[in-house]
A and B are shown apart, each in its own frame.
Chain A
Amino acid sequence: MELETFRKGLDEWLDEHEPELTPEADVALDGQMRHLSAVKRLAYDAGWMRWGWPERVGGFGGSTLLRGYLGEALTIRGLVEPGIYSMTEVLAPTMISFAPEELARQMVPRLLRGDETWCQGFSEPGTGSNLASLSCRAVAVGDGWHVTGQKLWTGLAQFADRCVLLTRTGTAESAHKGITALFVDMKSPGISVRPLRTMHGADEFCEVFFDDVRVPLDRTLGEVNGGWAVAMDLLPYERSTSLWHKGAYLHHRLADLLAAAPDGAIQADALGAVVQQLFVFRARSRATQYRLARGEKLGPETSIDKIMVGMTEQVVFDLVADVLSTRIAVGDDPAGERWRADFLYSRAATIYGGSAEIQRNILARRVLDLGPDR
Chain B
Amino acid sequence: MIEEEDLELLRRGFQRALKAEDPDKADDALGELGWRDALAAEGTTVVPLIFTEKGLANAVATVLDDLLLSALGLTALAGAGVVLPEVGARTPPGSVVGGRLSVCGSGTARLRRGGGAVVVAAADDGTCQAISVRVADLTVDRVTGIDPAFGLVAVSADGVAFEALGEPAITWQRVIATAQLALSFELLGASRAMLGLAREHALARTQFGRPIASFQAVRHRLADSLLAVEGLAAAVSAAWDAFGSWPSAGPDRDQLAAIAKAVAGHNARSVARNCQQVLAGIGFTAEHRFHRYFRRVLLLDEMLGSARELTSVLGGEILAARTLPTPIPL
Which A residues fall within an 8 A CB radius of B? 3, 7, 65, 68-69, 72, 244, 248, 251, 254-255, 258-259, 266-273, 275-276, 279-284, 286-287, 289, 304, 307-308, 357, 359-361, 363-365, 367-368, 370-374
Partner of A267, one of B199, B220, B315: B315
Interchain Cβ contacts under 8 Å between A and B, 10 examples? A248-B327, A268-B319, A271-B318, A271-B319, A272-B310, A282-B238, A361-B219, A363-B226, A370-B222, A371-B213
Q: Given A268-B319, A361-B216, is A258 in contact with B324 using a C-beta cutoff of 8 Å?
A: yes
| Contact residues of A: prevailing secondary structure | helix
- Chain A residues lying within 8 Å of B312, measured Cβ to Cβ, are 268-269, 272
**Cα A254 to Cα B328 with chains together (Å):** 16
B234 and A276 contact, CB distance less than 8 A: no
**Cα A371 to Cα B256 with chains together (Å):** 38
B237 and A364 contact, CB distance less than 8 A: no
Number of A-B contacts (CB under 8 A): 144
A280 and B223 contact, CB distance less than 8 A: no
Is B179's beta carbon under 8 Å from chain A? no
**Cα A221 to Cα B307 with chains together (Å):** 49
Contacts of B199-252 to chain A: CB distance below 8 A: 199, 202-203, 210-211, 213-216, 219-220, 222-224, 226-227, 230-232, 234-235, 237-239
A280 and B199 contact, CB distance less than 8 A: no
- Give the most central of A259, A279, A364, A365: most B CB within 10 Å: A279
Closest Cβ of chain B to A198, distance in Å, is 27
B315 and A271 contact, CB distance less than 8 A: yes
**Cα A281 to Cα B235 with chains together (Å):** 8
| Contact residues of B: prevailing secondary structure | helix
**Chain B residue at smallest Cβ distance from A68:** B330
Q: Given A282-B328, A284-B230, is A370 in contact with B199 using a C-beta cutoff of 8 Å?
A: yes
Is B259's beta carbon under 8 Å from chain A? yes
- Chain A residues lying within 8 Å of B322, measured Cβ to Cβ, are 258-259
B203 and A370 contact, CB distance less than 8 A: yes
Is B262's beta carbon under 8 Å from chain A? yes
A304 and B227 contact, CB distance less than 8 A: yes
- Chain A residues lying within 8 Å of B318, measured Cβ to Cβ, are 258, 268, 271-272, 275
- A276-B259, A307-B227 are known contacts; what are 16 more A-B pairs with Cβ within 8 Å? A7-B329, A259-B322, A266-B319, A268-B313, A275-B314, A276-B314, A286-B328, A287-B234, A360-B219, A365-B219, A367-B226, A370-B199, A370-B222, A373-B214, A374-B210, A374-B214
**Cα A307 to Cα B220 with chains together (Å):** 12
Closest Cβ of chain A to B295, distance in Å, is 24
**Cα A41 to Cα B211 with chains together (Å):** 56
- Chain B residues lying within 8 Å of A258, measured Cβ to Cβ, are 318, 322-324
- Chain B residues lying within 8 Å of A276, measured Cβ to Cβ, are 235, 259, 262-263, 266, 311, 314
- Chain B residues lying within 8 Å of A280, measured Cβ to Cβ, are 231-232, 234-235, 263
**Cα A279 to Cα B231 with chains together (Å):** 9
**Cα A287 to Cα B232 with chains together (Å):** 13
A371 and B314 contact, CB distance less than 8 A: no
**Cα A280 to Cα B199 with chains together (Å):** 24
**CB-based closest 6 A-B pairs:** A268-B315, A272-B315, A283-B238, A364-B219, A272-B311, A271-B315
B316 and A251 contact, CB distance less than 8 A: no
- Chain A residues lying within 8 Å of B237, measured Cβ to Cβ, are 283, 287
**Cα A126 to Cα B213 with chains together (Å):** 28
Is B31's beta carbon under 8 Å from chain A? no
- Chain A residues lying within 8 Å of B203, measured Cβ to Cβ, are 370-371
- Chain A residues lying within 8 Å of B114, measured Cβ to Cβ, are none
A304 and B226 contact, CB distance less than 8 A: yes
**Cα A364 to Cα B217 with chains together (Å):** 11
**Chain B residue at smallest Cβ distance from A272:** B315
Partner of A269, one of B202, B311, B329: B311
B314 and A363 contact, CB distance less than 8 A: no
A286 and B238 contact, CB distance less than 8 A: yes
B226 and A251 contact, CB distance less than 8 A: no
Q: Given A368-B199, A370-B203, is A275 in contact with B328 using a C-beta cutoff of 8 Å?
A: no
**Cα A364 to Cα B274 with chains together (Å):** 14
- Chain A residues lying within 8 Å of B230, measured Cβ to Cβ, are 284, 304
**Chain A residue at smallest Cβ distance from B211:** A371
**Cα A371 to Cα B319 with chains together (Å):** 47
Closest Cβ of chain A to B113, distance in Å, is 37
B227 and A275 contact, CB distance less than 8 A: no
Closest Cβ of chain B to A37, distance in Å, is 25
Closest Cβ of chain B to A156, distance in Å, is 26
A363 and B330 contact, CB distance less than 8 A: no
Is B325's beta carbon under 8 Å from chain A? yes
Map CB proximity to A onto B285-322 as digits: 1 under 8 Å, 0 otherwise. Answer: 00000000000000000000000101111111011001
**Cα A266 to Cα B317 with chains together (Å):** 12
A360 and B324 contact, CB distance less than 8 A: no
**Cα A371 to Cα B204 with chains together (Å):** 11
**Chain B residue at smallest Cβ distance from A4:** B329
- Give the most central of A248, A269, A281, A287: most B CB within 10 Å: A269
**Chain B residue at smallest Cβ distance from A257:** B324
B227 and A308 contact, CB distance less than 8 A: yes
**Cα A264 to Cα B213 with chains together (Å):** 47
Q: Given A270-B315, A368-B226, is A275 in contact with B330 using a C-beta cutoff of 8 Å?
A: no
**Chain B residue at smallest Cβ distance from A374:** B214
- Chain A residues lying within 8 Å of B308, measured Cβ to Cβ, are 269
Closest Cβ of chain B to A79, distance in Å, is 17
- Chain A residues lying within 8 Å of B231, measured Cβ to Cβ, are 280-281, 284, 304, 308
**Cα A372 to Cα B213 with chains together (Å):** 8
**Cα A31 to Cα B232 with chains together (Å):** 41
**Chain B residue at smallest Cβ distance from A279:** B259
**Cα A365 to Cα B230 with chains together (Å):** 17
- Chain A residues lying within 8 Å of B327, measured Cβ to Cβ, are 248, 251, 279, 282
- Chain A residues lying within 8 Å of B220, measured Cβ to Cβ, are 357, 360, 364
- Chain B residues lying within 8 Å of A364, measured Cβ to Cβ, are 219-220, 222-223
- Chain B residues lying within 8 Å of A251, measured Cβ to Cβ, are 324, 327
**Cα A304 to Cα B223 with chains together (Å):** 9
**Cα A309 to Cα B7 with chains together (Å):** 33
**Cα A349 to Cα B120 with chains together (Å):** 48
- Chain B residues lying within 8 Å of A72, measured Cβ to Cβ, are 330
- Chain A residues lying within 8 Å of B310, measured Cβ to Cβ, are 272
**Chain A residue at smallest Cβ distance from B231:** A280
**Cα A271 to Cα B320 with chains together (Å):** 12
**Chain B residue at smallest Cβ distance from A363:** B223
